Structure 1
């Protein structure tokens, strides 16, 4: 079986996509919130203003209320929130790369929230043992194989996921691999991405469901 994972050593190779935003509150300056978008430098955003699609609703003491992905989220200094990708009901999502060139998103598998890193070098969605247990997936029920990873050979189990949802896109019957060991986060591989039309314009990427 060919390698499907660039786990741990492949962060610099995860190319061409971005999805959900990670927003941190670094501090408060009067009526302005110091926001860090996707690990970037703190930027002052006044109440009522927006930065990269994140709007500051209110600032009180050491807390700010932000609106991200259409939902209001309270944040205290030092806290982070992850927002869903923009969705408009059209079966496509628009995503933005982070400042480090890494690409992350939060979606769900079979209704359970999962943090992904997008990996066009992975042939399938890949899940660590802890994520698989949370979702309720049984390693022993899949087709066993050996995969070559950054840490050497690993025993994996090939399964099929009922649903994978990211933003406004839901796919059914998606192939995936479960690893015996934990992984830093799940890999969003080509078993999902191959079913998308992908267009990139600078740091923006649009995914549209093909089938």
Structure 2
């Protein structure tokens, strides 16, 4: 269960590969997206991933597509989740649809409830 902030955003602590991260729930993001510094902190050798380009709110960005060993939000842990690593840093990790598609999402007032589907 994630409580919305004063602007209606859902920000939640979690981890990638055991490294603590702050996530912003972003249903408009195709994949979990993070900056290079967060990827390094999580032990991801992202330059071994597949190079690609992503259309972002700020224009086209170079990314590396990787598969995460582990991503945890509360009591939910998933493996094999696709992620995009951006060359620049980001203020927090975007919890995109590569994670959220595996959840049942329910809005209860100012709260977002995530339940693992598979």
With normalisation by structure 2, the TM-score equals 0.95
Picking from 79, 85, 91, the partner of 1:172 is: 79
User: In structure 2, what is the Cα distance between the partners aligned to 1:162 and 1:189?
Assistant: 16
Equivalent positions of 1:132-143 (< 5 A) are 132-143=39-50
Aligned residues: 118
Query: Which position in structure 2 is the counterpart of 1:53?
Result: none
Give the one of 105, 112, 116 matched to 1:198: 105
Stretches of structure 2 lacking an aligned partner (at least 5 in a row): none
CA distance in 1, matches of 2:59, 2:30: 17
Say whether the 8 Å CA contact 1:139–1:180 is kept in structure 2.
no
CA distance in 2, matches of 1:148, 1:130: 20
TM-score (norm 1): 0.54
Structure (1 or 2) with the larger CA radius of gyration? 1
CA distance in 2, matches of 1:132, 1:97: 26
Distance across 2 between alignment mates of 1:204 and 1:116: 15
Q: RMSD of the TM alignment (CA)?
A: 1.0
**Is 1:189 the equivalent of 2:63?**
no
Mapped contact 2:29–2:96 kept (Cα < 8 A): yes
Question: 2-side partners of 1:161 and 1:177: how far apart?
Answer: 10
Gaps of 5+ in 1: 1-93
Report 1 or 2 for greater relative contact order, CA contacts < 8 Å, sequence distance ≥ 6: 2
